[in-house]
Amino acid sequence: MEMKVIDHATCTFCGCVCDDIQLHADETRIHQAKKACVLGKAWFLNHTAERKYPDALIDGKEATVDEAIEAASEYLYQADMPLVYGMSNTTCEAQRQCVALADNLGALLDSHTSL
């Protein structure tokens, strides 16, 4: 099977953010993460492109992303004091959206740092 090779991939498992990882991947999973440490290997090899989980859940029942976004927005909109929390295992681009979300909502905003 044809393997896709990605040089200089970046590992986001820990704060070191190594950016010299070589990944060998097929369509659904990463088979090799060269130069990665034990933690990094586990990080890359444990994620797949499979559809392991439902797209979304509302009250524990499967839902579409559109429905879930609508429901999430409504909860956030109705709240008197919403909280936006986390932002560790995600990209800066998503974090910027989160800060915008908190600003627009008048929410509390906090990251892992405060723990």
Q: Residue from 11, 36, 37, 42 that binds another protein (CB under 8 A)?
A: 11
Query: Could you give the C-alpha distances from 101 to 58, 62, 88, 98, in angstroms and in order?
Result: 21, 25, 16, 5
Which residue is it, tokens 């600003």?
103
Residue 1 engages another protein in binding (rule: CB under 8 A): no
Minimum CB–partner distance for residue 70 and another protein (Å):
7
Site string for another protein, 52-91 (x = CB under 8 A): xxxxxxxxx----x--xxxxxx-xxxxxxxxxxxxxxxxx
Which of 92, 88, 86 is CA-nearest to residue 110? 86
Which of 92, 84, 86, 89 is CA-nearest to residue 109? 84
Residue 34 engages another protein in binding (rule: CB under 8 A): no
Minimum CB–partner distance for residue 15 and another protein (Å):
4
Residue 2 engages another protein in binding (rule: CB under 8 A): no
Residue 42 engages another protein in binding (rule: CB under 8 A): no
Minimum CB–partner distance for residue 28 and another protein (Å):
7
Q: Residue from 1, 34, 42, 92 that binds another protein (CB under 8 A)?
A: 92
Label residue 35 exposed, middle or buried (CB < 10 Å: 0-12, 13-18, 19+). middle
CA 32/CA 113 separation, integer angstroms: 32
Minimum CB–partner distance for residue 2 and another protein (Å):
14
